[in-house]
């Protein structure tokens, strides 16, 4: 049975700056845990070749984490190409996660210019949602994760879809910590909307955020 739901917003009433700091702390803690798990696997591996291969994978994973952190930590420009930035983010996220054999990520991310503040917010939201999809859909069994971007008027839309087993209501929050409600709060504060549809044929998420079209228009005129 397919379920359509709005996202949970049960987070403390932080300021925007504090909310982004909490997101950073949450993301870094998860990355450190994943890196430690990879290193433990290297230590327990038998044979020089196995250790070398697993060490190479762990290094690549850490390098991917570093790229993700840099992309989300840098102060955005006044106007950003969010399609280009999301492509870099998706590449880094795929690199920083172990995916099951046969899995792939399909991207449809055209060049879309929006204001930097909205672009930053969308990148943070995308990082959390895509990471969860990789972890709970692709790594579990392999499959396809699709990430697409579009714009209508002064709203930008991000769609994330996987063909995994869907999310069991009894375990929907498993492993996500504060990340899930934080995503909903970030979208809500910007006047946006976030919907999730999940069932046995996969999970589809749509994020819609309004952006400052007037600012983008003035930048085009100057450029």
What residues make up the domain containing 147? 3-222
Residue-wise pLDDT tens digits, 59-92: 777 777 777 777 777 788 999 999 999 999 998 8
State the chain's mean pLDDT as an integer: 80
Rounded Cα distance between 203 and 164, Å, is 7
User: Tens digits of per-residue pLDDT, 146-171?
Assistant: 999 999 999 999 999 998 888 766 55
Contact partners, residue 156, CB within 8 Å, separation at least 6: 82, 112, 114, 118, 122, 149, 150, 208, 209, 211
> Which carries the bigger pLDDT value, residue 165 or residue 117?
117
- Check: pTM over 0.75? Answer yes or no: yes
- Angle formed by the axes of helices 16-44 and 179-189, nearest 10°: 150
CB 177 within 8 A of CB 33: no
**CATH classification at residue 45:** 3.30.565.10
Distance of CA 93 to the CA centre of its chain: 8
For the chain, the domain total comes to 1
Q: Is 31 a residue whose pLDDT tops 80?
A: no
- Residue 84: its pLDDT value, please? 96
- For 66, what's the count of Cα atoms within 13 Å in the CB-facing half-sphere? 6
């Amino acid at each position: 049975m397919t379920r359509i739901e709005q996202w949970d917003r049960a987070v403390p009433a932080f300021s925007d700056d504090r909310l982004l700091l909490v997101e950073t702390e949450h993301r870094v803690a998860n990355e450190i845990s994943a890196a430690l798990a990879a290193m433990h696997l290297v230590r327990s591996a038998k044979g020089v070749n196995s250790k070398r291969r697993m060490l190479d994978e762990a290094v690549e994973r850490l390098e991917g984490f570093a790229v993700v952190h840099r992309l989300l930590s840098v102060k955005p420009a006044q106007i950003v190409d969010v399609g280009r930035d999301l492509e870099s983010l998706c590449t880094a996220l795929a690199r920083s996660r172990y995916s099951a054999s046969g899995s792939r990520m399909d991207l449809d991310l055209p060049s879309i210019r929006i204001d930097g503040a909205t672009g930053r917010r969308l990148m943070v939201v995308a990082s959390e949602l895509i990471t969860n999809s990789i972890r709970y859909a692709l790594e579990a069994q392999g499959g396809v994760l699709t990430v697409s971007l579009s714009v209508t008027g002064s709203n930008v839309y991000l769609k994330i879809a996987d063909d995994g087993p869907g999310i069991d209501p009894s375990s929907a929050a498993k492993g996500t910590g504060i990340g899930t409600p934080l995503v909903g709060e970030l979208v809500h504060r910007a006047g946006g909307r976030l919907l999730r549809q999940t069932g046995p044929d996969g999970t589809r998420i749509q994020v819609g955020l309004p952006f400052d079209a007037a600012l983008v228009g003035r930048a085009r005129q100057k450029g």
